[in-house]
Amino acid sequence: MNVRIEDSWKEHLKGEFEKEYFQDLSRFVREEYQKTTVYPAPKNMFRAFDSCPFDEVKVVILGQDPYHGPGQANGLCFAVGQGVATPPSLQNIFKEIESDLGAAPNRDADLERWAKQGVLLLNATLTVRASSPGSHQGKGWEQFTDVVVKTLNDEKEHLVFLLWGNYAKQKGVHIDRTKHLVLESAHPSPFSAHPGFFGNKHFSKTNEYLQANGFSTIDW
C-alpha cells in the first residue's frame, strides 16, 4: 500500500506497510478520521519521520500518545502547534535544558528545530481521538513503532535514545547498549519530574556522546 512517509523511511520500513496488522490499522485510522475528530491532522501523522530522515537520525526521544486537545498534537512527541500553550511536561524539559546547559533554551514549543538536527521525536501511538487519551492504543501503532525502534537499533550505530518514564523504558528494553547510548530517567510530567527527571543531565550527556563519536551536537 502507498503510505505517504519520507522516502528513506519508506525504503527501510516498506515490508511493514504490506502486513495485515498495518492494513487493519490503516482502515481503523481512516474510519476514525472520517467519523470523529482525530489528532494530529492527517498531514502530520508521519511528521516525526518526514522532519527527520532515517540517515540523519542521531537522537531518539520516545513519547507515548499524541496530545488530545484542540491544536496541540503536531506529529512530534512532547511538541505542540504554534500559538498553543506549552504543556507542563515540555516546560519541565526546557527547565532541565537550562539547568543542564547553563543557558536559556529556545522555548519554541513546536520542536521542529530539534527534528531538523537529527532528533526523532517519536510517539508510540501516532494518532488519538479528540478528548480521549489512549483511544488509539492497541490498534497496531505500537507494533509499527516497535519496528521503527528495532530498525534503528539494528541498522545504525552510536544513536542516543532518551527514555523518560516507564513506558518509554519498556519500549526501549531491547536496544543494544553496546552500540548505542541509552539514557533513562523519570518522565518530565509534573507528577514525576521531582526528583527523577530534573538533574538527569540528558542533554549535555547526549552532546558529549555525539561529539565523542564524530557527530555534530544538538542545539537544544
Q: How many CB atoms lie within 10 A of CB 157?
A: 10
Q: How many CB atoms lie within 10 A of CB 96?
A: 22
Catalytic residue among 7, 65, 110, 176: 65
**Cell numbers describing residue 41:** 491532522
3-state helix/strand/coil string of 121-135: EEECCCCEECCECCC
Q: Is 65 a catalytic residue?
A: yes
Cβ burial 76-85 (10 Å sphere, 16+ → b, else e) = bbbbbbeebe
**Cell numbers describing residue 62:** 520516545
Instruction: Please tell me whether residue 7 adopts helix, strand or coil conformation.
Output: helix
User: In degrees, to the nearest 5, what angle opens at C-alpha 6 toward C-alphas 148 and 82?
Assistant: 95
Please say whether the beta carbons of 110 and 76 come within 8 A.
yes
Would you mind telling me the total number of residues written for the chain in this entry?
A: 220
Catalytic site positions: 65
